[in-house]
Amino acid sequence: MDHHDSDDDHHAPPEDIVVRVKALENLLLEKGLIDLEAMDALIDQYEHKIGPHIGARIVARAWVDSSFKQRLLADADAALGELGAPKNQGEHMVALENTSSVHNVVVCTLCSCYPWGVLGLPPVWYKSVPYRSRIVKDPRDVLREFGFVADANKEVRVWDSTAELRYMVIPMRPAGTDGWTEEKLAQLVSRDSMIGVSEALPPSRAADGAAP
Amino acid sequence: MNGVHDCGGIDGLGGIVAESAEPVFHAEWERRVFALLWALGFNGFWNLDEFRHAIERMPATEYLRTTYYEHWLHAMETLLMEKHIVSAAELAAARGREKPRSLPNSRAPMDVTAVTNLIAKGFPSKVADGPAAAFKVGDRVRTRNINPAGHTRLPRYARGRQGVIERDYGVFPFPDKNAHGGSAAERVYLVCLSAEEIWGPGVSSLDTVRIDLWEPHLEMRG
């Protein structure tokens, strides 16, 4: 898999699109169809407040509290409600548990459906056709590119979000984290591990080292 | 429609490129497009299925050449014109203006309170009542082989395949109708398809694809 930095020119739009968007916004403003203050509030929510830290908190809770995990697996909407997770684009949630025999990974081949309430807005690669086309057909190769080798004895279960259900993966809890607090465990729960393209991070990646 | 958006299983679409420290938005115009869509959605001019279908109707080469928020912009412009909310001439004229003309508000747009409600509650789409279930968990089904000219949420790779019903999710709006002015609701099932059933030999016999399909996408097999 290739990596590149966010200021890569791949995202530099032609000047035309800036004009196009501004024109559309001005026209809709003239027609009284939009409120700029509300738009700014919405952008602020998704740029600064709603993101994968919400899902990480939920996974960490599931790791330390088995009754919460059971509620999360049985009725994710109710369990997420307990923690006050945002609902927009997460109205009908399903949690998928990774185990020693099953690895779950989520995609939306037809568009880019994603559990915004727990993960925020999706990364570009998730929305792009290379991931959407390949993960259903060659999931093990794609996972390998993300650095995760799925055991040959394990089922790789690909979830194609074709309807309004939204899926999040509960990665396996890393070994060597016994006695860790929820807050510290949450640091190991990456966005990618909740999409299912990787595992949770190793204990050494927690901010204050491996000590509990 | 058998559009390029329905890309599951297509080869040759390039490598997966993951950005390190990716920002939520890459440019100010992306922020504006994101918020414009939700503001317009609040006005109720179209439903989600019509919006998705408007993206799918982009010419295939343009769809592949452009990014996610360009798809959104294209769909918004398309639907606003098709529904006679703005005209092509108005859009063209607006592109020549630096600042908006000041006109009195004619409607009540999405306001800050609406944003708070949106985050807290979203738009649950599950329908309380619906037809009785034709299938139950464990039923052996076949996905239909359909190739409609319009919108469908049954991807090509999953058509005409044998599978098993794994969950009954309840009744939801039916996009295949609702993208075209309908207001139908049908039951959604989680269907398990084996990777071998879809792709044939050469894949792990353990691997599966789970897909959410509406009742009209499925038929019982003997």
Minimal Cβ distance to B18: which of A46, A50, A125: A125
| Same domain (yes/no): B39, B100 | yes
Please list every residue in chain A whose beta carbon sits closer than 8 Å to the beta carbon of residue B55: 111
The mean per-residue pLDDT over the stretch A101-126 comes to 98
Query: Is residue B152 one of the residues assigned to a domain?
Result: yes
- Our CA-based measurement puts residue A68 at a distance from the nearest CA of chain B, in whole angstroms, of 21
Query: Is residue B178 one of the residues assigned to a domain?
Result: yes
According to the model, what pLDDT value does residue A211 have? 47
Q: Which residues contact A112 (CB under 8 A, 6 or more apart)?
A: A122, A126, A127, A132, B68
Q: Which residue has the higher pLDDT, A79 or A6?
A: A79
Query: Is residue B23 one of the residues assigned to a domain?
Result: no
Where residue B179 sits, what CATH number does that domain have?
A: 2.30.30.50
According to the model, what pLDDT value does residue B108 have? 80
The partner residues of A2 in beta bridges, in order of sequence, read B17
According to the model, what pLDDT value does residue B217 have? 98
ipTM for the complex shown? 0.93
Residue A13 has pLDDT above 60, yes or no: no
Give which of B105, B32, B96 is closest to A36, Cα–Cα: B32
Identify the band that residue A212 occupies on the pLDDT scale cut at 50, 70 and 90: very low
Identify the band that residue A4 occupies on the pLDDT scale cut at 50, 70 and 90: low
The residue ranges of every structural domain in chain A are: 13-45, 51-205
Where residue B104 sits, what CATH number does that domain have?
A: 1.10.472.20
Pick the CATH number of A51-205 from 3.10.640.10, 3.90.330.10, 2.60.40.1180, 3.40.50.720: 3.90.330.10
| Same domain (yes/no): B145, B116 | no
According to the model, what pLDDT value does residue A61 have? 98
Residues of A (156-185) whose Cβ lies below 8 Å from B = 156-165
Residue A10 has pLDDT above 90, yes or no: no
In chain B, % helix, strand, coil (3-state, to 5) comes to 35, 20, 45
- The verdict on a CB contact (< 8 Å) between B206 and A155 is yes
The partner residues of B208 in beta bridges, in order of sequence, read A157, B194
Please list every residue in chain A whose beta carbon sits closer than 8 Å to the beta carbon of residue B195: 139
Burial call B37-61: b when 16+ CB within 10 Å, e when fewer = bbbbbbeebbbbbbbbbbbbbbeee
Please list every residue in chain B whose beta carbon sits closer than 8 Å to the beta carbon of residue A93: none
Q: Which residues contact B12 (CB under 8 A, 6 or more apart)?
A: none
| Residue B40 structural domain | 28-121
Query: Is residue B176 one of the residues assigned to a domain?
Result: yes
According to the model, what pLDDT value does residue A14 have? 56
- Specify the number of domains making up chain B: 2
Query: Is residue B153 one of the residues assigned to a domain?
Result: yes
3-state secondary structure of A39: helix
Which amino acid appears at position B216 of this protein? Answer: P
User: Alpha helices, DSSP H only, in chain A?
Assistant: 15-30, 36-44, 52-64, 66-74, 76-82, 116-119, 124-127, 129-134, 139-145, 182-186, 191-195
Residues of A (96-135) whose Cβ lies below 8 Å from B = 107, 109-112, 117, 120-121, 123-125, 127-134
| Same domain (yes/no): B117, B32 | yes
Cα first-last separation, chain A: 34
